A and B are shown apart, each in its own frame.
Chain A
């Protein structure tokens, strides 16, 4: 199954940044019956006192501190200056000033022993872990993250192994701030993956959903709008999917031509909320909501 959710507070509707992390944890918690293997979020539109947020994970266990030191050295080697550093077990969050090309920094990091790179964003970060939303929040303090928008996922694994690496969201390495959560299965994954590898893209996992992130980021880099990129995916991706995408500029959804995977959407004057099921919307709205169920081959995007 899998469950997905997204939320955006429209510009000017709040004097300060919105509780995106808290809302996503609430929505994902109410979708726990759709998957308990892993949970993850991207919180975007954060107020960051640096050029980039870098999220690193390692499976090095007790030697995690060594990996984190090497990751910091790698940032420095690429020309970045770390301005703040926080760790949660095997996760490292760095804020850094960096004026170079992000792909160069990303490459330097993934070539560092023990480092797995979950995201680089100008105003967003990916947080993911195995287990439920409540467990993830307890370990990583996601509910404290504030921003303008974000997307999240609870996973019931079908296509690849259950671990932190294969939890959603998938960041579109090495494109800053582009990330995807996906409910469904892609049947032309291997074919498209080879195509993008031939173009020089680097995949970090064996999960089909990572392809959607790379696909969209590639289109965006080529000059497409988010809506154009998402519309293109309806023809180019084969299989079943309802996915949500988050970028620095906004977020959106696309639903496959078979209408196979659920989604409900509600838009008020202040908020856009998306979720696999209406029950998740009730964790954001206290009243009954006027939601719509997007139909097949439907795409919608919003800008902050």
Chain B
């Protein structure tokens, strides 16, 4: 175990050290993050990092492989563009958590702000509490599981992917619809939330794209050949 004191280092020094220590296979701990931005970004291999305190914007972003635990809250866009690995946040996440994530898992212990999972392209986002306005906005793939309630306009303009809501969901966003949840699907979800240490077996509401805004028949010739 190697411990870094963030109070003694610049953000660039912290990220450079984290990458180096990850290469060396060390288990790493970061103390005193004090809600600073860009903590633990751009690490492209599996490693274990434990951040003891809140982090700021874009923290644990641009990652491929790491397992990162954060004891505290995050600012906007935690876990942006995650390719693989797992991010566990014990507290509240700011807006746009897991923005454009493509794989891996982001777990938020308490509430997530507005636009959780915006433009997700894969992977799984689990929110232990409530999520805010425009959850799953323009989502393209992957799944969002919210244990509590969501804000208004859930699933607005989503293309693909699934949003599961354990509590009450706000108004459906443009072109979002509710679909029946299959029994096997539900058992799979319970298993997944159980593995994240969450109790209960909520009967999730499943929200998907109604695809009424799909206009693939009016594609350009080159686009048609790509579909």
Which residues of A are found within 8 Å of B114, using beta-carbon distances?
A: 259, 295-296
Which of B15-23, B52-60, B159-167, B185-193 forms contacts with chain A? B52-60
Within 8 A of A (CB), among B49-102: 53-54, 56-57, 72-73, 75-76, 92, 94-95
Q: In chain B between 119 and 176, which residues have their CB closer than 8 angstroms to a CB of chain A?
A: 132-134, 151-152
Q: How far is the CA of A303 from the CA of B58 in the complex (A)?
A: 35
Residue of B nearest to A286 (CB): B34
Q: Smallest distance from the beta carbon of B94 to chain A beta carbons, Å?
A: 6
CA distance A216 to B113 in the complex (A): 27
Cross-chain contact A291 with B92 (CB below 8 angstroms): yes
Interface residues of B (CB under 8 A from A): 34-37, 53-54, 56-57, 72-73, 75-76, 92, 94-95, 111, 113-115, 132-134, 151-152
249-304 of chain A: CB within 8 A of chain B: 258-259, 262, 264, 277-279, 281-282, 288-289, 291-293, 295-296
- A residues sitting closer than 8 Å to B (CB atoms) are 33, 258-259, 262, 264, 277-279, 281-282, 288-289, 291-293, 295-296
* Interface residue from A258, A282, A292 paired with B92 (Cβ < 8 Å): A292
User: Across the interface, which residues of B come within 8 angstroms of A291, CB to CB?
Assistant: 73, 92
CB distance from A292 to the nearest CB of B (A): 7
Contacts of B57 in A (CB 8 A): 277
B34 & A296 in contact (Cβ 8 Å cutoff):
no
Taking a contact as CB atoms under 8 Å apart, the answer to whether A296 and B75 are in contact is no
* A296 lies within 8 A of B152 (CB): yes
Contacting pair B76 A259 (CB below 8 A): no
Task: Name A264's closest neighbour in chain B (CB-CB).
Answer: B94
Take A259-B133, A293-B92, A295-B113 as given contacts and tell me if A279 and B151 are in contact as well, using a CB distance cutoff of 8 Å: no
**Are B53 and A262 in contact, with the CB atoms below 8 A?**
no
A277 touches B35 (CB 8 A): yes
Measured CB to CB, the nearest residue on chain B to A294 is B113
Cβ-defined contact, A279 with B35, below 8 A: yes
Given A277-B56, A278-B73, A288-B53: A296 and B132 interface contact (C-beta under 8 Å): yes
Which of B53, B54, B133 has a CB less than 8 Å from the CB of A296?
B133
The 3 closest A-B pairs by CB, nearest first: A278-B35, A259-B114, A279-B35
CB distance from A49 to the nearest CB of B (A): 39
Residues of B within 8 A of A33 (CB): 37
Nearest CB of A to B14, in Å: 15
